[in-house]
Structure 1
Amino acid sequence: MIKTTPTLLVVEDSRPVRLLLTQGLGRSGYRVLEAADGQKGVELFISEKPDLVLMDVNMPIMDGFDACRNIRQHEEDTVTPILMLTGSDDLHSIQTAFEVGANDFITKPINLPLLEQRIRYALRDADREQALRKAKGLQDNARALAGLGFWEYNQTLEQYTWSEDASEILHWVKFLPETLESMGQIVHPNDRKRLFAVFEDTLIMGGKFDLEVRSVNNKQEYLLKIVGQRDGEQKRLIGAFQDITAQRRLEQQANFLNFHDSVTGLPNRKLFQRDLEDVLTQLHHTDLNFAIIVLDVARFHQIHDAYGSEVSDQLLSLMASQLKTAMPRDAFLARLDGGSFALKLPLNAQWNEGKIYSAIERWLSVLDRSWVVADKEVFLNFIAGVSLVPRHGDDASLLIRKAHRAHRGIKPSGNISIGIYEGEQEDSLQKRLMLEMALRKAIEQEEFYLVYQPQVNLTSGDVVGVEALIRWRRPDIGVVPPDQFIPVLEEMGLIQQLGDWIVQHAAKQQVAWKKKGVSLRMAINLSPVQFEQMDLPDKITRLIAETGAKFSDIELEITESLAMHSPETTIRMLKSLREEGFKIAIDDFGIGFSSLEYLLRFPLDTLKIDRVFIKDITRGRSDCAIVRALTSLCQGLGLTTIAEGVETQRQRDYLDALGATEIQGYLISKPLESNELIQFIADFKKNQNNQSI
């Protein structure tokens, strides 16, 4: 704490002298404390910690000398100035005062202006001393933290001198060296000549040196950094030393991590590319043939989110181990990032593409298995893109990019899907990049809009709800179907942003219709990527609450495949949303692999029957039986059923007879924009009324 007004302590038994000092120094701006004897003076010093003490010598109870000794004993550092007040001819008292720790003296009778000058100088010197002590303390702390010690070598005396902490820093050295010869004994034999040569050159030529030498004991090798210089023209060296063993070990570890993956221990992308570059430099001198493979674990991020980083890391380590055991000796395996690996595999120059494909498939077949991690059995799909050397070039980064392009062009089929780069993928990649740029622009400029497909209750014949569907009106092309841009947005990581926009705009539209007297249930589709957000329930609740829509008027749709990818996580999220009041629907039901067990566990309000069972319902007995079973099951569970893709009156009649609750499809209407929908509902009601007359 900085003191703005210095505090002085006057310890004087003479009341007139004490009064003179306190009033005179008080007028000069000092805060003055007073004590009439040495004991009281010590007590005030301990409690008030003054900046300076004026101490009389001869006092009752405790004289000034004993008081001065006591004060110094209570200080960690001797920094508080003590000025002794003594007679002008009392030389013995002056000498004793300095011995007990006084800084200065002033003779009686007291000259107040002269005293004020002495006080000012004493306070200034005390401030300097305190600043120097603080700086030295910081330096000592920094030196201790850095493990830095000091040494001195006197050539004339053939003698080493070390700082006090040298033994602690050189903890493996039994006795600190005292001579140059003994200094050589603590240094590795192969480094001694270098050390002696540097010392001799510095003693002769001057200048500075900085070197690292090894020091050994029976168990371990240590690294010492020694810096020094000649002390002027004298035959003496002074310098510092530091144990840098741990530092170099960390640097080696950091260098390893710079080129290796911390999870699997495999080389990383940087080292894989460097190795590939080194191999390609030999391409013109040797007949090298090999494949560059980019291998991805499909939906690895979903596995990570579902089971956590510990399980996903164990899984990566197991895969790395399996691949290493199956690879040829001169293959090179690396982990790029996430669930992505890279392989450089040697090939026979005589192999055609079919044999290359078979060889790669055989090498990767070790991955075609179930994986058990932390008592969890996981089945994985792998996708591998391949570029070939020398067929596809001799540039490392280009070959890796071409393997990535081949990977992106694969349609998964089976547990391991492999694709070899083809030239036409260049054009498709350029088109893909142009599409990605257009989509980013579309989000910024709000080129997306919503259309709404009506859902009709078969009992009442009324339009009771709509499904919100996204469309893209691209300025240079026109309306783009969702299946052409939704998957791209998912891969680009932008679907969450668009998904939030859909949720909020659909809810706003529902509120706007309600204000016009049109009350409709609003169905909103949620994508699998949105379900990767652990805070999805909170986000949806917040977005819709901001619009003023009632949660019970909103139906959130998920697909069967989404629900079954991570059922426990999905159930937890859906329960949270259902508790808030949202309705939950499962879409495309019947075409996936869900079980009745999960159907019973999911918190559902609505089951949507996929159009694949509807299109042949009037001709195929099996489709009719499936729909009947689903509607009967839903009736028993108290669920609404919505049949999708209804296009004919006969399909409607069949569904009505089989017990479906609602229908949706082109028989009713195509998806409509907001104004068109309001007009459609008005016309639909009018037609319904006319038919009932």
Structure 2
Amino acid sequence: MVQKLPVTRDVKRGDVFTIDSTDVVKIDLIKDKLYLVHTKSDQFYLNLSFDAIEEWLYEDGFRMLDTHNIVNVNQIVSYDSDRGRIALSAAEGDGAAQKSATAARIHKQHVMNIMKMLEARSRTDDNGEPLADLLTELTSTNDNPLFVRSYTAMQLSEERRRANAKINHLAFHDALTNLPNRMLFQDRVKACFEEAVQHQRKPAILFFDLDRFKVINDTLGHHVGDSMLQLLAKRLQSITRPEDTLARFSGDEFIWLIPHVNDRSEAADYAREVAKVVSKPYDHEGQELFVTASIGVSFYPEDGMDPDTLIKHADTAMYRAKEKGGDSFEFYHPDMNFRSLERLHLETHLRKALSRDQIRVFYQPLVNLEDGNIFGMEALVRWEHPELGLVSPGEFIPLAEETGVIVPIGNWVLRTACMQNKRWYDMGHRLCVSVNISMQQFQHPDFVATIQETLAETGLEPAWLALEITESVAMKNVNFVMETIEELKRIGVHISIDDFGTGYSSLSYLKRFRVHTLKIDRSFIRDVTTDEDNAAIVTALIAMSQQMKMRSLAEGVETVEQLNFLRERGCNEVQGYIFSKPLPAEQFQAMLEKTSVPNGQP
């Protein structure tokens, strides 16, 4: 901001008005506390303390040269070091006189120092702030009190300038990654839109989020997550161009503004490049960590005419990619808005479902093929919404996992299932209840303690509880999983690997896990009697479980043909609609009492 100087033409009359400091070329001391202010074409009187002028006008370029004058360095035309004369800017027009600071009043070494300061301020390097270093040196080595005071004033002003620059930088940049933040990004988008209209460009926004990044923060700590974000920011900067803007939007969300793309295929190439960079391994104490990205893409002007709309639509497309399993990209389409609103509505209600007593536990019988007895049941969570009715688990379970609500819901299901099984035990039914455990639950540091507390609170013996973890959970942080499984087995709890065959399990790891039951996914059972490949896979899985001394359990059995196939191959246990659909506790109990099925073994 340009400073205003209070000046007058007549000291005695005192009619004061202001002029811009940028119009001033120099200020001369006439007598004590009275100064003559020179512009290029005029001069005025200034009644102000000389000691304060330099510091006050430092940012505008004014420097004290000796005890009698201050010069605006922005108006310096030349400096004759031999004669000690500084030439200042002249007013426009023929014959205009050029003003100068006279040789008699100039301290030569001080002027040389001023010129060094001007040069240092225009220069930057990797070793710090050149001007700050120079001012520190001049302040400590100069023995002239007048100039030491001048250098000190300059130093204070320079420190203020650097502090303000740092504050300004922090206001517009992310503290962790040093990338532009949301505020600066939106300013860049606005400017980009203006240029796009002028030059017929087509900007694109890539909004991306790291898949399952919360698991890393929860299991290894936020310091590890922060280190990953810092490294990722550097990697991403390597694929951006100077005209692009890459920002950290929030948490593990990043956003990339590309000023122009020729078509969708070019934007798709950028998205694939992001996915490639994100998926590179991250080393943590010798252990490789992996994440993937869900990416949404929107284009100006067809997907939005203002920054907020374009960003929102890219965000919407990103969530669609995440809903499809992540590690992919999606272009925005207007139809996604309805889906996003529906998802937001569902999430809002899901967060309140537990407190509003809308979560239910249903039970599906597990049948022993060797004797046909029900030996247990799987506890399956259901959401009974007062308006939507029974919400499909396929709808709300992924949402619960993504939002973290799965942990309190999962712990509630665990406690409810154990409590119900204890009631049935007291009624004479010896059944093993099988409870699904999410990745967030299993990876939690207090998971084993939670199991112990639940068993103690409900009074259920550990042998009558089985915990189901999916193949994908088992293969995340294998050493941690193995240690946890061993702790649970020492307690006496049974362990099952669920959905086996759908992921990327290593048989050597499976052998080391030594779980009790291998559950064969329903996707293989569905066509087991009509598809040779599925039949071969199921046969191999049953044989493998026998070799590893594990029980095999087939999910989703619906026909007699499927049941006969499994029995002939030596499958131990089954569950599915051929016996019963999942039932509320009251109906399941009624089924047990009606059929008088003999008790099985855990």
TM-score, scaled to structure 1:
0.61
1:275 match: 188
* 8 Å Cα contact 1:589-1:608 kept in structure 2: yes
Query: Separation in 2 of the partners of 1:619 and 1:421?
Result: 40
* 8 Å Cα contact 1:587-1:608 kept in structure 2: yes
Match of 1:563 among 474, 477, 483: 474
**For residue 401 of structure 2, what is the amino acid of its counterpart?**
E
1:371 match: 281
**For residue 297 of structure 2, what is the amino acid of its counterpart?**
V
| C-alpha deviation, 1:383, in angstroms | 2.0
Match of 1:331 among 237, 244, 255: 244
1:634 match: 545
| C-alpha deviation, 1:269, in angstroms | 2.1
* 8 Å Cα contact 2:377-2:434 kept in structure 1: yes
1:320 match: 233
**CA-to-aligned-CA distance 1:224-243 (integer Å, 9 cap, x gap):** xxxxxxxxxxxxxxxxxx97
CA gap of 1:621–1:428, structure 2 versus 1, over 3 A, is closer
* 8 Å Cα contact 1:295-1:385 kept in structure 2: yes
> Does 2:576 match 1:660?
no
CA gap of 1:659–1:192, structure 2 versus 1, over 3 A, is same
Query: Separation in 2 of the partners of 1:656 and 1:685?
Result: 23
2:62 match: 190
| C-alpha deviation, 1:252, in angstroms | 4.6
> Does 2:310 match 1:399?
yes
* 8 Å Cα contact 1:322-1:366 kept in structure 2: no
> Does 2:351 match 1:440?
yes
Query: Separation in 2 of the partners of 1:569 and 1:272?
Result: 40
Greater mean deviation of Cα atoms: 263-272 or 398-407: 263-272
CA gap of 1:352–1:248, structure 2 versus 1, over 3 A, is closer
Query: Separation in 1 of the partners of 2:343 and 2:361?
Result: 24
| C-alpha deviation, 1:300, in angstroms | 2.2
1:220 match: 136
1:175 match: none
Query: Separation in 2 of the partners of 1:570 and 1:437?
Result: 32
2:336 match: 425
> Does 2:581 match 1:670?
yes
* 8 Å Cα contact 1:306-1:566 kept in structure 2: no
CA gap of 1:590–1:365, structure 2 versus 1, over 3 A, is closer
Query: Separation in 2 of the partners of 1:601 and 1:195?
Result: 86
* 8 Å Cα contact 2:271-2:295 kept in structure 1: no
**For residue 266 of structure 1, what is the amino acid of its counterpart?**
L
CA gap of 1:253–1:420, structure 2 versus 1, over 3 A, is same
Query: Separation in 1 of the partners of 2:478 and 2:159?
Result: 48
Q: Where in structure 1 are there 5+ consecutive unaligned residues?
A: 1-156, 159-179, 199-213, 224-241
**CA-to-aligned-CA distance 1:343-377 (integer Å, 9 cap, x gap):** 110215xx34445434x346547527633535444
1:62 match: none
> Does 2:427 match 1:520?
no
CA gap of 1:636–1:355, structure 2 versus 1, over 3 A, is closer
| C-alpha deviation, 1:294, in angstroms | 0.6
| C-alpha deviation, 1:439, in angstroms | 2.1
CA gap of 1:620–1:289, structure 2 versus 1, over 3 A, is closer
Query: Separation in 2 of the partners of 1:270 and 1:392?
Result: 21
2:3 match: none
| C-alpha deviation, 1:283, in angstroms | 6.1
1:582 match: 493
* 8 Å Cα contact 2:275-2:292 kept in structure 1: no
2:416 match: 505
**CA-to-aligned-CA distance 1:226-277 (integer Å, 9 cap, x gap):** xxxxxxxxxxxxxxxx979878766654543332223332112232123223
> Does 2:172 match 1:259?
yes
What SS does the aligned partner of 1:570 have? helix
Q: Where in structure 2 are there 5+ consecutive unaligned residues?
A: 1-31, 34-48, 71-120, 122-130, 140-154
Query: Separation in 2 of the partners of 1:678 and 1:371?
Result: 50
> Does 2:377 match 1:466?
yes
* 8 Å Cα contact 2:400-2:406 kept in structure 1: yes
Query: Separation in 1 of the partners of 2:567 and 2:217?
Result: 44
**For residue 572 of structure 2, what is the amino acid of its counterpart?**
T
What SS does the aligned partner of 1:565 have? coil
* 8 Å Cα contact 2:470-2:497 kept in structure 1: yes
Query: Separation in 2 of the partners of 1:408 and 1:571?
Result: 33
* 8 Å Cα contact 1:608-1:641 kept in structure 2: yes
| C-alpha deviation, 1:183, in angstroms | 10
> Does 2:509 match 1:607?
no
1:293 match: 206
| C-alpha deviation, 1:461, in angstroms | 2.2
**For residue 584 of structure 1, what is the amino acid of its counterpart?**
I
**For residue 136 of structure 2, what is the amino acid of its counterpart?**
Q
Query: Separation in 2 of the partners of 1:430 and 1:413?
Result: 17
1:112 match: none
* 8 Å Cα contact 1:186-1:216 kept in structure 2: no
* 8 Å Cα contact 1:462-1:685 kept in structure 2: no
CA gap of 1:674–1:400, structure 2 versus 1, over 3 A, is same
* 8 Å Cα contact 1:335-1:341 kept in structure 2: yes
Query: Separation in 1 of the partners of 2:306 and 2:537?
Result: 56
Query: Separation in 2 of the partners of 1:650 and 1:218?
Result: 89
* 8 Å Cα contact 1:370-1:377 kept in structure 2: no
> Does 2:408 match 1:536?
no
For 1:198-213, list aligned pairs within 5 A. Answer: none
| C-alpha deviation, 1:303, in angstroms | 3.8
2:255 match: 342
**For residue 425 of structure 2, what is the amino acid of its counterpart?**
K
**For residue 522 of structure 1, what is the amino acid of its counterpart?**
V
**For residue 370 of structure 1, what is the amino acid of its counterpart?**
K
1:643 match: 554
1:68 match: none
1:117 match: none
Query: Separation in 1 of the partners of 2:68 and 2:378?
Result: 86
| Structure having greater relative contact order (Cα 8 Å, sep ≥ 6) | 2
* 8 Å Cα contact 1:347-1:356 kept in structure 2: no
Query: Separation in 1 of the partners of 2:294 and 2:549?
Result: 42
* 8 Å Cα contact 1:452-1:672 kept in structure 2: yes
* 8 Å Cα contact 1:315-1:371 kept in structure 2: no
Query: Separation in 2 of the partners of 1:556 and 1:624?
Result: 27
* 8 Å Cα contact 1:267-1:335 kept in structure 2: yes
Greater mean deviation of Cα atoms: 632-641 or 542-551: 632-641
| C-alpha deviation, 1:496, in angstroms | 1.2
| C-alpha deviation, 1:318, in angstroms | 3.8
**For residue 530 of structure 1, what is the amino acid of its counterpart?**
Q
CA gap of 1:575–1:338, structure 2 versus 1, over 3 A, is farther
Query: Separation in 2 of the partners of 1:588 and 1:397?
Result: 42
**CA-to-aligned-CA distance 1:267-309 (integer Å, 9 cap, x gap):** 1223212322344466665644311111222222234445555
Greater mean deviation of Cα atoms: 185-194 or 400-409: 185-194
1:110 match: none
* 8 Å Cα contact 1:326-1:366 kept in structure 2: no
Query: Separation in 2 of the partners of 1:543 and 1:248?
Result: 60
**For residue 371 of structure 1, what is the amino acid of its counterpart?**
P
* 8 Å Cα contact 2:316-2:336 kept in structure 1: yes
Greater mean deviation of Cα atoms: 556-565 or 318-327: 318-327
What SS does the aligned partner of 1:410 have? helix
**CA-to-aligned-CA distance 1:418-460 (integer Å, 9 cap, x gap):** 2221111121122122222332343231112111000111223
1:46 match: none
Query: Separation in 2 of the partners of 1:622 and 1:275?
Result: 55
Query: Separation in 2 of the partners of 1:222 and 1:577?
Result: 70
